[in-house]
Structure 1
């Protein structure tokens, strides 16, 4: 019920050896100019109490990234206003691409990954986040992801 991306789409393996690049399980910095956080796009599964989620990367401005980092371990951080960002994970089961969809990153209590809310457009992923998906759709996504790359998204 969850698929995760290891790094933002712009990450390259050669960045791992650079001093101006960082990749952890929660954040990423590329060339000291591009800033990303990992969050969850949650999609309700219709007819159940289950939630399907994509763990994705979202780019933030330097200011918002710094603010999120400063508050990362602070109780009450969930009262922070959402941060605007761009989705930087290409979720292969969707067409057109999910890259550069507009998002809002909602900080949640300490220990919880942020919630990524997509701008309410007619993109299939945004529609699914608003309206939910069936268990059959979850199976379709699982088959597509596992067939494409073993569960890792770009």
Structure 2
């Protein structure tokens, strides 16, 4: 799909997903302490052997479009649920598990850190789908009701620094 963007008047191909490489809690650990305190790979993070996070995909439907706007986000997990995920990574037969959205960013001017979520495990090497608790937060409303393609591109440009 190509699209002429209302934000920059350029022609774009597919809408990119936006992602965070670590939970905000891990990003706050000083560089000189990071290696000793944080265990991090592309999908899992443990801070101070006490705080557990998994990476998932939060999707926002785009009106009249097959593609969603995807956010690669981190959510907190209880230690027991984190370990259940580790032991059953290739099966969708676990969860869903509660967690707190663990990335700080603004969505339509509102902070997102600590929104309530449910992680729905897909198994087979796929990251869990992250569903926000129903609320009046703009990100939750967008996930439930969808957004226009123009809104999606505006969000992408905002996060990619255009």
Say if 1:62 and 1:94 are closer, same or farther in 2 by CA, change over 3 A. farther
Partner of 2:5: none
Query: Which of 59, 65, 71 is 2:82 aligned to?
Result: 65
Q: Unmatched 5+ residue regions in structure 1? A: 149-154
Aligned pairs, number: 144
2:116 pairs with 1:102? yes
2:73 pairs with 1:56? yes
With normalisation by structure 2, the TM-score equals: 0.84
In 1, Cα distance between the equivalents of 2:43 and 2:92? 16
Structure 2 matches for 1:5-44, cutoff 5 A? 5-11=20-26, 12=29, 13-18=31-36, 20-44=37-61
Q: 1:88-136 CA distances to partner (integer Å, 9 max, x unpaired)?
A: 0112344321000000000003121100000010100000000111110
- Given that 2:107 and 2:139 are in contact with CA atoms closer than 8 Å, whether structure 1 keeps it comes out as no
Q: Secondary structure at the match of 2:23?
A: coil
- Given that 2:88 and 2:94 are in contact with CA atoms closer than 8 Å, whether structure 1 keeps it comes out as no
Structure 2 matches for 1:114-129, cutoff 5 A? 114-129=128-143
- Given that 1:25 and 1:38 are in contact with CA atoms closer than 8 Å, whether structure 2 keeps it comes out as yes
- Given that 2:56 and 2:128 are in contact with CA atoms closer than 8 Å, whether structure 1 keeps it comes out as yes
Task: Provide the aligned C-alpha RMSD in A.
Answer: 1.4
